[in-house]
Amino acid sequence: MLKKTLNFVNVKKQKKQKTENMEKRKIQFSLVYRDMFQSSGKYQPRKDQLERIAPVIIKMGCFSRVETNGGAFEQVNLLYGENPNKAVRAFTKPFNEVGIKTHMLDRGLNALRMFPVPADVRRLMYHVKHAQGVDITRIFCGLNDTRNIIPSIKYALEAGMTPQATLCITTSPIHTAEYYANIAEQLIAAGAPEICLKDMAGIGQPAMLGKLVAMIKAKHPEVIIQYHGHSGPGLSMASILEVCKNGADVIDTAIEPLSWGKVHPDIISVQSMLKNYGFEVADINMDAYMEARKLTQEFIDDFLGYFMNPSNKLMSSLLLGCGLPGGMMGSMMADLKGVMDAINNNRRGKGEEPLSEDALLVRLFNEVAYVWPRVGYPPLVTPFSQYVKNIALMNLLTESMGKPRYTMMDQSIWGMILGKSGKLPGPVAPEIIELAKEKGYEFTDVDPQSNYPDDLPRFIEEMKQNGWERGEDDEELFEFAMHESQYRDYKSGIAKERFLKDLQAAKDKELQKGGNLSLEEVAAYKHAEADAIIAPENGTVMYEVGGGSEGAKSIDPAIGTEYKEGDRLCYLQNQYGQTLEVKAALGGKLVEIVASQGKKVRKGDTIAYIRRK
């Protein structure tokens, strides 16, 4: 009896000592500044905005790491006409100078886009990003297929970057701690010194996450573990505490006004919780926090907020049931509304009651839960979360039409099912296998990269023909090869023009909604402080002489162009072939073009509006 009592006391002492040692461990924080915007809306801050916020983030004093780029982030720079390479260099530079590590998001086989990338373009990426000042690349595969991750580990090491191999977290009968630990073992053996638990939907169960961290650390105490969890369904704070108690080293956090909701927990709450538990954590300079908060809100008010979905500010327990990432809620609701009328019209045609939006949403969540295991339990992360949602949505539509499930699946979805993107975690349902056979499709288990051969020579040759510079450290070549169509639009100026038109439309819509105004009243408000530039006589508008009407799309000046008093806005060619200059009045910012290149106007017609400063 005495021996048992002594053994019990010794075990208790050992547990107490272990707890004390654990509680004194240091936990570092990372600010996922750009993912905050990715989870909230369509666009990222501009280069000048990133340059302004970086010193303030540094002054906060609590971050050892900052997420600066990667994933879709650089693609959206191109969409609004900005060079992403310059933005990345500008944002990483101040952090490099003070020793704060920078990290990027990397989709493995898909690199920085939504579909597979040739191997030579993938290799080039790491050399470019290392030269631009990015320290760590967070490599993930939406299917957790190590064949898509291990080559990137090798490429990153060759280029001098730190590869952070990533586990995409979800909750299913297949995705156990043992399942993930086995994958981590393979990635560490391949050379990954760090592991990230990417809980993109925030549905990872805290107990499982804690167990997983403990399993990895037991075998590899030297491996750094970073946790990334979205706050959408409300489990993130519990998950953070569990992973830290079991050995995690770095926690991703956000700041107001973009923390919480479908985004990430706020640094203040995370720091407070861990500090009071007993971990060693950095203090926060609250003056700097408030300054960063104010600047971020300024960026939102400037233009980013016009493309943010308000629902992404809200948390929802419903996300636990369907497992979809919170950032998808906005697009999913838009898609749902898009098919709602069609579904209800079909129901009316069959004598059935139409469904409300809430009822249809519940049906969609239930359909996702039905479809997900039958397509092999792919972790619901980009692009596979979109694929599963699309299958479910189209199934609801085809059901209302009296057609069977899986009638409307595109080639991207079939590519996932057939194994072209990697190995699915679970088996595909027999009815889907049978449908594939009927369509003549074949399943494959070959290395996905073998489907996408090297392609850089094609881009090199075209850049040479166009007279385009390959850029410092071949960064422009990389950008062209990675985002071909977006880069072409960026180079032509179409991207900038399209963005400015979209922004003006978003502003007009907001103004109309907020003031309950008609479109005519919105136009009147917009022009209230603007000068109308009037045609002095009949003629043809030319922003460039000889451009002709066919060149209007690329020749019209961009909305937002600044003019000084007396600057030329355009030319007017009259019926006698004479060319007259039309001045930009007292100068200011171009807010609307009424007459595009090549348009014929009469004397007194408005050509454009320029708002005075």
Per-residue pLDDT tens digits for 428-456: 999 999 999 999 999 999 999 998 999 99
Confidence band for 3, pLDDT divided at 50, 70 and 90: low
Instruction: State which of 4-8, 518-522, 568-572 shows the largest mean pLDDT.
Output: 568-572
Rounded CA separation 103/299 (Å): 22
Confidence band for 9, pLDDT divided at 50, 70 and 90: low
What local confidence, expressed as pLDDT, does residue 42 receive? 85
Rounded CA separation 485/279 (Å): 48
CA 121 to chain centre: 20
Structure tokens at 86: 């310059």
Q: How far lies 500's CA from each of 339, 386, 495, 526, 559, in Å?
A: 29, 28, 9, 15, 6
Section 184-189 average pLDDT: 98
Question: Quick one: which of 207, 119, 123, 206 has its CA closest to 157?
Answer: 123
Write down the residue that tokens 């071909």 correspond to: 484
Listing DSSP states for 586-613 in one string gives: T-EEEEEESS-TT-EE-TT-EEEEEE--
Question: Quick one: which of 548, 552, 593, 556 has its CA closest to 573?
Answer: 548
Q: Where is average pLDDT lowest: 142-156, 388-402, 548-562, 590-604?
A: 548-562
CATH code 3.20.20.70 for 22-307: yes
Confidence band for 550, pLDDT divided at 50, 70 and 90: very low
Task: Return the bridge partners of 147, or none.
Answer: none
Instruction: State which of 273-287, 523-537, 585-599 shows the largest mean pLDDT.
Output: 273-287
Q: How far apart are the first and last CA of the chain?
A: 89
- Please state the three-class secondary structure of 239-261 as a single string: HHHHHHHCCCCEEEEECCCCCCC
Confidence band for 547, pLDDT divided at 50, 70 and 90: very low
Q: Where is average pLDDT lowest: 18-22, 328-332, 379-383, 575-579?
A: 18-22
Q: What contacts 143, CB < 8 A, 6 or more positions away?
A: 168, 378, 379, 384, 421, 422, 423, 424, 425
Q: Spell out where 32-75 has E strands.
A: 65-70
What local confidence, expressed as pLDDT, does residue 553 receive? 45
Q: Is the pLDDT of residue 527 over 80?
A: no
Q: What contacts 338, CB < 8 A, 6 or more positions away?
A: none
Confidence band for 382, pLDDT divided at 50, 70 and 90: confident
Section 591-604 average pLDDT: 87
Q: What phi, psi does 104 have (nearest 5°)? A: -125, 165
What local confidence, expressed as pLDDT, does residue 255 receive? 98
Peptide bond into 257 cis (omega under 30): yes
Mean pLDDT for all residues in the chain: 89
Q: Is 462 left (phi over 0), alpha (psi -120 to 50) or beta?
A: alpha
Section 91-118 average pLDDT: 95
Instruction: State which of 250-264, 500-514, 532-546 shows the largest mean pLDDT.
Output: 250-264
What local confidence, expressed as pLDDT, does residue 24 receive? 79
Task: Return the bridge partners of 233, or none.
Answer: none
What local confidence, expressed as pLDDT, does residue 383 receive? 82
Share of the chain above pLDDT 70, in %: 90
Listing DSSP states for 82-104 in one string gives: --HHHHHHHHHHHHHHHT-EEEE
Rounded CA separation 570/315 (Å): 51
Rounded CA separation 223/455 (Å): 35
Confidence band for 559, pLDDT divided at 50, 70 and 90: confident
Rounded CA separation 547/173 (Å): 63
What local confidence, expressed as pLDDT, does residue 372 receive? 93
Q: Where is average pLDDT lowest: 11-15, 257-261, 595-599?
A: 11-15
Which uninterrupted H or E stretch holds 338? helix 329-349
Instruction: Give me the CATH code for the 526-611 domain, please.
Output: 2.40.50.100
What local confidence, expressed as pLDDT, does residue 521 receive? 60
Residues, the chain, total?
613
Rounded CA separation 389/51 (Å): 37
Contact criterion met (CB below 8 Å) for 568 and 559: no
> Comparing 1 with 253, which gets the higher pLDDT?
253
CA 99 to chain centre: 26
Q: How far lies 575's CA from each of 237, 572, 578, in Å?
A: 72, 10, 7
Rounded CA separation 452/536 (Å): 58
Question: What is the domain partition of the chain in residue ranges?
Answer: 22-307, 321-449, 452-492, 526-611
Confidence band for 519, pLDDT divided at 50, 70 and 90: low
Q: Is the pLDDT of residue 554 over 50?
A: no
Q: Where is average pLDDT lowest: 244-253, 383-392, 433-442, 472-481?
A: 383-392
pLDDT digits 0-9 by tens, 51-83: 999 999 999 999 999 999 998 788 888 988 999
Section 222-233 average pLDDT: 96
Peptide bond into 84 cis (omega under 30): no
Q: Is the pLDDT of residue 151 over 90?
A: yes
